Structure 1
Amino acid sequence: MKILYYDCFCGISGDMNLAALIDLGVPKENLVEGLSKINLNSEYEIKIEKSEKLGITGTRVDVILKDKLDDEIHISDKDLHGHNHEHNHHNGDEEHHHENNHSHEHHHRNLKDIEGIINSSDLSDKVKKLSLDMFMKVAKAEAKVHGKPLYEVHFHEVGAIDSIVDIVGAAICLDYLNVDKIIASPVQVGGGFVKCAHGLMPVPAPATVEILKNIPINAGIVQFETTTPTGAAILAANVEEFTRNVDFSIKKIAYGIGHRDLEIPNVLRVYLGEKESPEKVGEHYILETNIDDMNPELYGYVEEKLFEAGVLDVFKTPIFMKKGRPGIKLSVLTNEKVEKDALDVIFEETTSIGVRKYKVGKIMLNRDFSKVKTEYGDFTIKKSYYKGKLLKYKPEYEECKTIAKEKNISIDKIYKAIYKQDVK
C-alpha cells in the first residue's frame, strides 16, 4: 500500500503543498502541462525553484499574477505566508494594498465561474472531480461565514487565480502520485490576529476553522497564520485519517518551503511511504434501498450524482416486491467519509424513504499505475499485485476511448496494441 503523509507541524498553504509534492517527485512538466488545460496561462506565471528555511532545503513555488492594467505583480494566498501586504476582508472579498502604494482589486469569480473553468477544460475526469471537491470545501465555508447562499457569494479566496492554480495543481499532483491512502498529522494553525476591514480577525480565520471542523488542530506555535483556507481544503477533501502515528516505512521525504521567516522552519514536510500487506483490507458500508415507484429514466442520473459524491460503487438489482410489484434494489458501496453525501443523493433524488446500512469488508489487491508505449501513443495501465507478484493489468478505459475517438480507430485495436507490450 502506497501512502502519502502530510506532517503539518507548521501548517499548510496551497503553494507549500504544490512545492512539497513537486519536491516529492511530481515532475514540474506534468504540473505545468496540466495547468495549461484550464486556459488561464495569460493571467499568471508559475515559478518553481529550490529554496531553504533554517537549514532545511526543499522546493518553493510562486504563482505570479499578471496585472493586465498596469503590470503590477500581486499575490493572494501567498500573502498569508510571507509577503508584507495588508489584508482587507469584506463579505469574503479581499483587496491587497502593495508597498508601492498602488492598489489593485482582483477579478472576483464565484463558484459557478470556477465550475465552468474546470468542467470546460481538458483535464481528466478524476482531476476535475478532485479540484471541485476542494473548491466546494472553501465555498461552503465562505458561504456559512458570510451568511449567504452558496452560489451568491463572490469571494476572493476561491476566485483568485493563484487559488485556482493551487487547487487544480494539487489535484494534478495527487492524481500523478496515485497513492492508496492519504494521512496527515494534526494541523498547526498558528496564532495571533490578522488585520482586516472589520478590525483584527483571530487566527485561524473563520473560513479556515470552518473547513477544519472535525479535524484535529494545534495552535499558537507562532503568532502568525500558518494554515490558509486553501491549505485546509486540500487536507479536508483528501485526507482519510489524521494521526501522529507513522506506522509505515518511509521511502521518501520532501519539503515545501514557505515564504515568511519564522522562529521555526516554515515548511510543509511530506512523506511517501509503503505499508506491506499482500492485500489491502478496507472497512466500507453498503447503503441499500428497494424502489418500485420511480421513473426508470432517473436511475442513470442518480448513479452519476452518487459517483460525483465520491461513492466507491453503485449497482442495481431487479427484484420483486410485495404484491408482485417489480422493483429495483439500489446498492451503494461507500465509506464513512462520503456516507452523508451519498444519503443526501438517495433521499433527495429518488423516491426512497428509508435505507438499510451494513458494514462490509473489502479485500483488494495492491495496485499501481504505469505507462506503456504503443503505436497509437502512451497509455496508462493499472497493475494488480498478489503476494508481491504482478497478477494482472488493464488499460484505463476512458483514456483508450479518448484516443480512439481522436484517431478515429477501433478501441479494440488500442487494447490489442497495449496487451502486446511487455509489462513488468
Structure 2
Amino acid sequence: MIVNVWDWRGGIKVASNKFSSKVKAISFAENGSYFVTVGNRHVKFWYLEVARGAKFKEPVPLTGRSAILGEQRNNYFCDVACGRGEMGDSTFAITKSGLLCEFNNRRLLDKWVELRTTSANCLVSGDEYIFVGCAEGIVRCFSPHNLQFITTLPRTHYLGVDVSKGLTISHMAAHPNNAKYPDTIAVSYDENNHKVTAVYNDHSMYVWDVTDIKRVGKSHSYLYHSACIWGVETYPTQGEAIKGVMPPGSFITCSSDDTIRIWNINPSMPGNTLYKRNIYSSELLKTLYVDPDLGFIKDTDISPQGGDRNDAPYDSRNGVRCIRVSPDGKHLASGDRAGNIRVHELQFLDELCKIEAHDAEVLSLEYSNPDTGHRFLASASRDRLIHVFAVDQDYSFVQTLDDHSSAITSVRF
C-alpha cells in the first residue's frame, strides 16, 4: 500500500507516500511532472516536486490530489493513459463498465463516451489515436482531441477455430453465428511504425497495422496455449520407407487448456504434406480441441475484485496430461486428467478410439518398440494401475498390472 517513485538509472528512491486503495494502473504525464493512478472509485494525480540536480538524501513525500469524478465516483477505473502531444494536458481513463473518460488539467472529469462493450480492460494513447481493448476481442479507436469514435479494429480468430483451414485471409472474415472471442487484456501502440499490438486472454497476440486507420490490416499473429503445458513430443523422423505424415521437425504439445497443438518452426518447411502454413500463426499448424465446450481456453481470472491468483483451476479434472506418438508416426495417443485415453490418427487427426481407462489422471503413455514384433500401448496413472492395449486389435485391452501402491509417473517398455 505504498507508491514509490524511482530514479531508475541511479537506483534511488526519489519520492514515496502511503496509499489508501489498491492501484490497478498508473501512467506518467508526457512532461514527467506528475503521474496518475486509478483503481476502484479512485483516480488520483501525484505531483513530483523534485529539484533536478539536487542531491537525493531522503525520499520526499509525494503530494496527491484526487480527481473530481462527479457522477462517475462509484466506478471501477481499470486503466489510465496521460495525453500525448497537443493533448498533453489531458488524462484518459476507462471504467470496467465501458466508459472512456477524459480529465482536464484541473483534474475534472470533463467528458466521457460509451465504448459499447460489456467490459473495457486496457487503453493506450498516442498523438492522434486512443486504442481501447474490450471484451470479446474488440479494440476501439477514438480521437484524443474530441473523443470522437474513429473505427473498430478487425476481430481476431473465434475461439475453437480450426487454424489449419485458414489458408487465405478471407477465412478470418467467415465466422459462425454463435462465435465467441477472446477478451483483449493488453494493448500497446508504436506510433513510429504504425503498429498496435494486442494480447488476448486466450494468450494469443496480434499486431495490427494502422498506417491507414480506415483500412486496418493484420501484420502478425500468434496463437499459444492458454494454460500450463504438460507434455511435448517430437515427431519421429522416418527412414525412406515410411513417408512421414507431418513435415519434418514438427512437434506436438498438450496442455491444461484441453488442446493438443502441432507446431513447426522451420522457415523452409516442405509443403508436400497435408499440413500447411496458415494465416493465424506462423508456427502453429493445427489445434485439436479435446473439450468441445472450450471451457478452459480463456483465462477467466482477470477480474479486478479477485485477490491473488490461486491455483484452483488446476485442481479440476481438465487438461490433456500426456501424449505419445507411435513409432511409425501414424497414431497419437493422449491421456487426460479424467483418466481417458484417446487415439488420433495423425494425417487428418480423426479420433480412432476413446478408452475410459483410469479413475484418475493418466500420467504416462508408451508404445512398445516395433522390433519386438508386438505393438502395444501402455498407460500409467495416478490410480496406481498400468494398462496394456493391443494396437493392431483396435487398442483392445490386454492386461492390467496393479503392483504399485502409489501414483505411477512413468512407464517404459
TM-score class, shorter: under 0.3
| TM-score (norm: length of structure 2) | 0.25
Larger strand fraction of residues:
2
Task: Name the structure, 1 or 2, with higher relative contact order (CA <8 Å, separation 6+).
Answer: 1
